[in-house]
Structure 1
Amino acid sequence: MGMTAAYEVRGLVCRLGGRDIVREVDLDVVHGEVLALVGPNGAGKSTLLGALTGDVPIAEGDVRLDGRPLAQWSARDLARTRAVLLQANQVSFPFTVREVVEMGRNPWVGHATAAQDDEAIAEAIERTDIAHLLERPFTALSGGEKARASLARVLAQRTDVVLLDEPTAALDLRHQEEVMVVARSLAAVGRAVVVVLHDLSLAAARADRIAMIDGGRLVSAGTPAEVLTPERVESVYGIAVHVLPAPDGHLIVIPHRGLSDTVSS
Structure 2
Amino acid sequence: MANGSRGSRQAAWEFFGAELKRRREDAGFSQSVLGARVFVSGGYIGQFEQAIRRPQLDVAQRIDEVLQTDGFFERLWRKLIKEQPFTDYFAHVAELERLATEICEFEPALVPGLLQTPEYARALYESSNPFVTDEYIEEQLRARMDRTLLLKDATRPLYWAILHETALCVPVGGPDTMADQLDHLLVMARERKALLQVLPFAAGAHTRMGKMMKLMEFDDAPPTVYTEGVSSGTLLDEPAVVKRVRASYDLLRAVALSPEASLALINSVSEDYRTCASTP
TM-score w.r.t. length of structure 2: 0.25
Higher relative contact order (CA 8 A, sep 6+): 1
Greater Rg over alpha carbons, structure: 2
